Amino acid sequence: NALYKVDGWGAPYFSINSSGHVTVRPHGAETMNHQEIDLLKVVKKATDSKSIGGLDLQLPLIIRFPDVLKNRLECLQSAFNYAVKSQNYTSHYQGVYPVKCNQDRFLVEDIVKFGSAFRFGLEAGSKPELLLAMSCLCKGSSESLLICNGFKDVEYISLALVARKLLLNTVIVLEQEEELDVVIDVSLKLGVRPVIGVRAKLRTKHSGHFGSTSGEKGKFGLTTTQIIRVVKKLYECGMLDCFQLLHFHIGSQIPSTGLLADGVSEAAQIYCELVRLGACMKFIDIGGGLGIDYDGSKSANSDVSVGYGLEEYAMAVVQAVKFVCDRNSVNHPVICSESGRALVSHHSVLIFEAVSASKYTVPAMSSFDIQRFVEQLPEDAHLDYNNLSESAIRGDYEACLAYADQLKQRCVEKFKDGSLDIEQLAATDGLCDLVAKEIGVSDSVSTYHVNMSVFTSIPDFWGIEQVFPILPIHRLDERPTKRGILSDLTCDSDGKIDKFIGGESSLPLHELEGENGTKYYLGMFLGGAYQEALGGLHNLFGGPSVVRVSQSDGPFGFAVTRAVPGPSCSDVLRSMQHEPEIMFQTLKHRIEEFVHDEGDMGGAMIAGGIAQSFHNMPYLTVGSSCGLTAAN
Ligand code: PLP
């Protein structure tokens, strides 16, 4: 627990049991007495085709826990309910989920279902997101908000107005002033009275990585001058009653409640001014930004942590809105938030396997080897070697390393001009490594090769160096004897993870067991937001397989309620406009020609193996379903 700080970032959902396995309590603190779900058992079950209806699920694997999602939603709602009650706030909280954080159909449907009792709605930022939000909300509460953000064209605005016609509680939030003319025009044509909001460009600035969204020069929103022009135009066309919502978003991962309260107060003051100017204001939408403590440090000075919890967040918001509205004698608005990261991060775990580990071992060199090597050195390298030896005898290790480096560079030059052979070059490397090892600066970190793609599954690590908690999901009752970095399957030097929570540049890991030993599974936690939608297809590695897991009364304490294999090689090829069926026919024809010329050398089996490879996932295949090995 302490080694990987699980209590810090994982409570109340994740912990480690007495067998050294990571376990999940999907209902959080409420289920302290229930059986916990053992992640290793889930992986075993999900990858055993007999127990999941003959499906051949390969790793990497995303395990989704809908109950965790439900718990997060309920905790957020109760934090606001409590703040509203304790502050005598006279309106209520009504959140929306920004679907961009993870557009997975079942996840969005779950949020609508779980949130229906407290009018939880959805936020969309593009046309396809709006289409999915419209269709999901049809099954939810009619009061749930459908917030339309993002840049809009006529088609987007028409869709949003049609949604209002279908009695969905839709608000068009103006992201740019020009959108207003289109809203007025299309709403008149369609005969729909729109509900309009405005995204304000606040002066309050979030200084962390995600702060580029905020401040006067921020990318999004309307300035105060533009907001006043919107009021004027709506007044002139008799539509000022349509202006009902003020929105802002100062950026994701807001580090402290101090900054949050500052932003909310500024927005609440704009809200009150809009009331004074005659708008029919009802909602203040505080955007996203409710942060996640990825490293468990509860620090307000880091992009991967925040110095508050759900309760403090809700209290700071309600207090700030109430204070400003009371000061201006304005009725308390409905408070809406667009929390994405805080809602969905915990609900999924990415499981992947370490398939091999390599560590450069310094070759053993006897004094005889060294002597022989020295004799072979080119004339001008002798001086470097002598200097190196003398500084070693003096104990001047810095000079030692410098002379070793000089010796190495000289020998590399000699190799390049053809006067040193490859064995002599290898001996030079060996000698220099030996010096580094003796002095204690040699690298003792191993590279663990993992069967996944960083670009596909943890794109924020690659793009913005966002760290996530990563740890083995078993063998945690054994002390890890090594430290390692993780290197993925892509042929790209960026495809590695060498930064971990707590500022560590390597991870405590166990020795991989031999070929017949058990597999070594690692889990990446808190990645339920943004990673799936942002992930790319580098090297044509597609997304992971996915299972949904719920707590149950059976012997394992869980049931796999849905299992979906990840995209196959055919699927990812198709996404780049290749045509796998035609590709296969071309290869099959080539095999037939070969059989015709050379006689049948297992042509049918080779074709079968290729067919299987198109069908398999692009990751390393272990076991009987491997295409070409199966054919051999
Ligand atoms: N709302 C808007 C307008 C956003 O741009 C974002 C993300 O940056 C969100 C909500 C979600 O933010 P978070 O995931 O930090 O809650």
User: Which ligand 1 atom is the nearest neighbour of the CA of 252?
Assistant: 15
- Ligand 1, residues at Cβ distance < 6 Å: 98, 101, 149, 249, 252, 287-290, 338-342, 529
According to the model, what pLDDT value does residue 625 have? 44
Q: Is the pLDDT of residue 630 over 70?
A: no
- Amino acid identity of 50? K
Q: What is the pLDDT of residues 105-155, one digit of tens each?
A: 999 999 999 999 999 999 999 999 999 999 999 887 899 999 999 999 999
According to the model, what pLDDT value does residue 381 have? 81
Taking CA atoms only, the protein residue closest to ligand 1 atom 12 is 288
Residue 211 CA to ligand 1 centre (angstroms): 12
Range 65-345 classified under CATH 3.30.70.2740: no
Q: What percent of the chain has pLDDT over 70?
A: 94
Which of 101, 259, 526 is the pocket-test mutation for ligand 1 (most atoms within 8 Å of CB)?
A: 101
CA distances 578 to 75, 91, 517, 543, 588, Å, are 46, 55, 39, 18, 16
Asked if 588 and 419 touch (Cβ cutoff 8 Å), the reply is no
According to the model, what pLDDT value does residue 340 have? 97
> Between 171 and 403, where is the model more confident?
171
Q: Is the pLDDT of residue 582 over 60?
A: yes
> Between 354 and 369, where is the model more confident?
354
According to the model, what pLDDT value does residue 599 have? 81
> Between 420 and 600, where is the model more confident?
420
pLDDT band at residue 430, thresholds of 50, 70 and 90? confident
Residue 253 CA to ligand 1 centre (angstroms): 9
Taking CA atoms only, the protein residue closest to ligand 1 atom 9 is 288
Residue 308 CA to ligand 1 centre (angstroms): 18
101 catalytic per annotation: no
Q: What is the pLDDT of residues 480-493, one digit of tens each?
A: 999 999 999 999 99
> Between 213 and 542, where is the model more confident?
542
493 burial via Cβ count (<10 Å: 0-12, 13-18, 19+): exposed
Residue with the two structure tokens 């580098």: 538
Cα–Cα–Cα angle for 141, 143, 149, rounded to 5 degrees = 105
Tokens (6 digits) for 444: 């003792």
Residue 159 CA to ligand 1 centre (angstroms): 22
The predicted model gives 604-620 an average pLDDT of: 93
According to the model, what pLDDT value does residue 364 have? 67
Tokens (6 digits) for 63: 């395990």
Q: What is the pLDDT of residues 223-260, one digit of tens each?
A: 999 999 999 999 999 999 999 999 999 999 999 999 99
Q: What percent of the chain has pLDDT over 90?
A: 72
Which of 72, 303, 338, 466 is the pocket-test mutation for ligand 1 (most atoms within 8 Å of CB)?
A: 338
SS3 of 284, please? strand
The one catalytic residue among 136, 491, 569, 626: 491
177 burial via Cβ count (<10 Å: 0-12, 13-18, 19+): middle
Comparing 207-211, 390-394, 488-492, 616-620, the range with the smallest average pLDDT is: 207-211
Tell me the backbone φ, ψ of residue 247, rounded to 5 degrees: -120, 150
According to the model, what pLDDT value does residue 622 have? 65
Residue 341 CA to ligand 1 centre (angstroms): 8
Q: Is the pLDDT of residue 515 over 60?
A: no
Which of 76, 149, 250, 252 is the pocket-test mutation for ligand 1 (most atoms within 8 Å of CB)?
A: 252
Q: Is the pLDDT of residue 631 over 70?
A: no
User: Which ligand 1 atom is the nearest neighbour of the CA of 125?
Assistant: 3
> Between 300 and 242, where is the model more confident?
242
